[in-house]
Amino acid sequence: MAHAEAHHDDHHHPGFFTRWFCSTNHKDIGTLYLWVAMFAAIVGGLMSWYIRAELAEPGLQLISNDAEGKQFYNVLVTGHGFIMVFFVVMPAMIGGFGNWFVPLMIGAPDMAFPRMNNISFWLLAAGFALLLTAAFIDGGPGTGWTVYPPLSSIDFHPGRAVDFGILSLHVAGASSILGAINFIVTIFNMRAPGMTIHRMPLFVWAILVTAFLLLLALPVLAGGLTMLLTDRNFGTAFFNPAEGGDPVLWQHLFWFFGHPEVYIIIIPAFGIISQIVSTFSKKPVFGYLGMAYAMAAIGVVGFVVWAHHMYTIGFNVDTRAYFTAATMVIAVPTGVKIFSWLATMWGGSIKFEVPMMYALAFIFLFVVGGVTGVTLANASADLVFHDTYYVVAHFHYVMGLAAILAMFAGWYYWIGKMTGRRYPEGLARVQFWFFVIGVNVLFFPQHFSGLAGMPRRIPDYPDAYAPFNYISSVGALITAIGTLLFFVVLWRTYTSSEKVEANQWGEGATTLEWTVASPAPWHTHEELPDMTGKAPAE
Amino acid sequence: MLKRLFTLVPAAVAAMFSGAGAALAEGVVAKSTPWQMWLQEPMSPSAEMVHDLNVLLMWIEVAIVIFVLAIMAYVMVRFSEKNNPTPSKTTHHTGLEVAWTAIPILILVAIAIPSLKTLYFADHTPDADMTLKVKGNQWYWSYGYPDHGDFEFDSVYVPEEELKPGQPRLLTVDTPVVLPVDTNIRLLLTSNDVIHNWAIPSLAVKLDTTPGRTNETWTRINKPGDYYGMCSELCGVNHGFMPIHIKAVSKEEFAKWVVGAKEEYASNDTDKQPVRLAKAQVR
Amino acid sequence: MASTRTKNRRAAMALSVVVAAMVGLAFASVPLYKLFCQVTGYGGTPKIKVAAGDSASTRQIEVRFDANVNKGMPWHFKPAQVHVTVKLGEPKLAFYRARNDSDETITGTAVFNVTPYKVGPYFSKIDCFCFTEQTLKPGQEVDMPVEFFVDPEIYTDPNTKDVHAITLSYTFYRSEPEDSDKKAETAARPVDGKSNIKG
């Protein structure tokens, strides 16, 4: 962590409570986000391991064969989804790495609104607490993270569980909206002299695009959530057909947010991978402008494809045709990115350090997840895939594999900068292999289960689906070991006496964070670095 | 010897990849088999088109993945630090950048054409010979036959303890839906409570049942047999326990069944004397 | 030249306006969604018209009738005829029969749509019981009319000319009556069509 090394700071050190509960320091806040993300990952992971343990064999082994047991299963499924999306990936990549490295990379001393930054963090923590509360009261929300009414309405989910879930998302959403404003203003207004928009590192571009997506998508979720809340508690009928409402309206509002949300998840990962591939190939990223604008294009087009999550609700065939075409369009800028990373490595001088291993795994596994997305983009193909394990396999490949691998890549890449300590090399490689093999054994067979017709969100399945479910659960076990190993690596890193130098990675590490000491001093760039005259990124 | 290999191996692979179980004396059994890695065998005109589309998609996607893997493998060896100590400075190549934008576009167009053809075919109800009404409930399906006397019945999940030998777990209901083969069937779907989804993979039918709204699609079953599906939209605690079982029979058998069913599931219309207190006023 | 602090504040204000606008858009989607479906007929929303045009034609189409009651609505509700064949442009009258099978007075409202969805703009309901609430005493049975026509344009639109059968579907929901003394009303005076939002 950013131990405020005494010899560099002019400032009086705040006490523990002030430093960690009233922080206005982007590094400390980034650290807080990373800790919450790791804690949430354990909670979300435990939920998923429970699910996989239940699904390892046909029949109900862990949950009781009654309404209470089955509701608990649905709550696990719901909780796992919400936690991983809202309280693991987003906090780690945007709140954690974003906060830590955007100011460092653009030469700013801190974020534009340091106090609002702190509010964002504590709102997130509160949102997480509310979600956990929701899971434990009145039977919990057994609606899936998609919360479709009428199942989520008061008639079919009486009690306060869904309401607490709604509140949790409102609070977490507010956290992200404020964070998005903070990032946009910081990136636009606080770049060091000479750091033009087209000289910013691609990670900063990624956070900028992500921040705009958050700004535009989260308020729509907030609107929809408020409507659901008033339908449940104040007699409105937005989604109640009995009084002129329409359950499908919720789906439009949710997915208008929900699709950009998945790009919010992956675009920061793209940014991290660009930094790492460039560093360990000792080459600048191929086609910088193409990479930056590809992310922007993915973000923009990501707003007009939402109904590919709704292909089977029964809407006009021409509209389905449009969404099929629009969704497939996104494959083009995404392909540009994949090929650009490969072209970055081509001609490079590649060092296979652990962050680079994770980045390579990301590139390959993201392509695997991406091509199944092309299948799902087709409304006619979706007739056999909607709500099956094929969809589960697809989104876990792009989120559960790719995004998480990018998070690990970023952790290994930047942990030296954040703590000044070196991670244990051998153990890190073992951890890599356990995790990567584990998640592939876990999720690849799910493609087959889905192709064969196994639906999602069921605690028990017809016997024919048993073999691949068993293998998938074995994969979950291997992944769990890989996760445990990560925490061992974490602990060994923190307790290591090996220090790292300011630039741990050598000539390939060309961004500004490598010009400050490791660990980064509590205050950096108090004198703005002068980037004028520096060679343009292009 | 080699000839046998070339017929046996593809047959074995096809068996692993195919869907329908062995055709029993009374017809097809359309559900997943263990270790099945591919779609269930298509048993309707829509399913055949969807199946072919997916074969095309799979080959394109496998090719893309192998292509990327090959480049990565080459790069990791050829341009490792050891083999290439001095990195190049190339960050542009217009030709390459155009190619990797244009070629994916062409591939996507090649996919879109059969994809949209399949979409429009599966959507458009051809002149239907009969209608089946499907209603989703928590947690069972009800079926109605408006063209055959408008009788209705519920189709309820049979729990494991009550299964007879040979009945598949989680797919068995007390009263299957009986439908005739080689008949265009209009499907009208709605729900009584929350959103469910009526899905039969081998027929490529999958449509949400939403309360307050009726959805329409169609199917045509090619062969007699048993067709299975499961609810495909989370609908509460027993979402995984409301299966669909269609018994497809010849047209003659269906006509016979209708006669018996009309009596057994007689609609309530004949029970009470109509009491008309107000008559419609036409403007 | 404004200070960084001022520039930051201004930028944050502008972005907050964007956030507020998006929330507003989410809420605006409610009436916009309804309006869009009513105007375009999207999602099988029939038109609510007052009179048929003079453009009657000799072409015919089958119109089918479907009836549902929601859970918790103890009415027997069925179409009086499963289907009729109508000439395009010609107004036709059809009936639904509803009977209150419970022992309390119950009021219901009906929501509706047509399938296939794309025929929505061409199916017009001139008069319909669904425009107002219906109240039935215990055991009371009524015939409820719906007068409609199918626009001949349905066969000139390349999108819809392949449709030979339209299904009109109603679902009755239990509702609280506006006036507890309300008697059974089957004559419809088209007020603001209580059409379901479909899209």
DSSP for A381-414?
THHHHTTBHHHHHHHIIIIIIIIHHHHHHHHHHH
Task: Annotate C38-55 with three-state secondary structure.
Answer: HHHCHHHCCEECCCCCCC
Task: Please say if A261 is a catalytic residue.
Answer: yes
Q: In whole angstroms, give the CA distance from residue A300 to residue A331.
A: 13
pLDDT in tens, chain A (538 residues): 444 444 444 456 789 999 999 999 999 999 999 999 999 999 999 999 999 999 999 999 999 999 999 999 999 999 999 999 999 999 999 999 999 999 999 999 999 999 999 999 999 999 999 999 999 999 999 999 999 999 999 999 999 999 999 999 999 999 999 999 999 999 999 999 999 999 999 999 999 999 999 999 999 999 999 999 999 999 999 999 888 899 999 999 999 999 999 999 999 999 999 999 999 999 999 999 999 999 999 999 999 999 999 999 998 899 999 999 999 999 999 999 999 999 999 999 999 999 999 999 999 999 999 999 999 999 999 999 999 999 999 999 999 899 999 999 999 999 999 999 999 999 999 999 999 999 999 999 999 999 999 999 999 999 999 999 999 999 999 999 999 999 999 999 999 998 999 999 999 999 999 999 999 999 998 888 888 766 555 4
A252 and C199 within 8 Å at the Cβ level: the answer is yes
How far apart, in Å, are the Cα atoms of B7 and each of A292, B1, B14, B16, B23? 52, 10, 11, 15, 21
Asked if the C-beta of B104 comes within 8 angstroms of chain A's C-beta atoms, the answer is: yes
How far apart, in Å, are the Cα atoms of A528 and each of A8, A51, A512? 16, 51, 11
Task: Please say if A259 is a catalytic residue.
Answer: yes
- The residues facing C171 across adjacent strands are C68, C111
Q: Which amino acid is at A398?
A: V
Task: Please say if A176 is a catalytic residue.
Answer: yes
User: What tokens does A523 get?
Assistant: 């205050």
* Listed residue (C102, C93, C152, C98) closest to C122, CA to CA: C152
Q: What three-state secondary structure class fits A142?
A: coil
DSSP sequence for A226-256: HHHHHHHHS---SS-GGGT--HHHHHHHHHH
Identify all chain B residues contacting A454, using CB atoms and an 8 Å cutoff.
32
Asked if the C-beta of A507 comes within 8 angstroms of chain C's C-beta atoms, the answer is: no
User: What tokens does A34 get?
Assistant: 């990373």
- Cis bond upstream, residue A14 (ω within 30): no
The ipTM value here is 0.92
CA atoms within 13 Å, Cβ hemisphere of A325 = 11
CA distance B126 to chain C (A): 8
Tell me if C84 sits within 8 A of C92, measured CB to CB. yes
What lies within 8 Å, CB to CB, of C1 at 6+ separation is none
Task: Please say if A33 is a catalytic residue.
Answer: no
Edge-to-edge strand ranges of the sheet holding C106-115: C83-87, C60-69, C165-175, C106-115, C134-136
CA atoms within 13 Å, Cβ hemisphere of A69 = 15
Q: What three-state secondary structure class fits B230?
A: strand
Asked if the C-beta of A326 comes within 8 angstroms of chain B's C-beta atoms, the answer is: no
Asked if the C-beta of A315 comes within 8 angstroms of chain C's C-beta atoms, the answer is: yes
Helix axes A26-55, A466-494, angle to 10 degrees: 150
Q: In whole angstroms, give the CA distance from residue A89 to residue A77.
A: 17
Identify all chain A residues contacting C109, using CB atoms and an 8 Å cutoff.
242-243
- Nearest 10 degrees: Cα torsion C76, C80, C82, C87: -140
- Cis bond upstream, residue C177 (ω within 30): no
Burial B216-229 (b: 16+ CB within 10 A, else e): bbbbbbbbbbbbbb
* Listed residue (A298, A102, A296) closest to A188, CA to CA: A102
Chains in contact with B, where contact requires at least 3 CB pairs less than 8 Å apart: A, C
DSSP sequence for A348-366: S-B---HHHHHHHHHHHHH
Task: Please say if A309 is a catalytic residue.
Answer: yes
Question: Which ranges in chain B belong to alpha helices (H)?
Answer: 2-17, 45-78, 94-123, 251-264
User: What tokens does B143 get?
Assistant: 């079926």
For B138, the closest chain C residue by CA position comes to C71
For B190, the closest chain C residue by CA position comes to C68
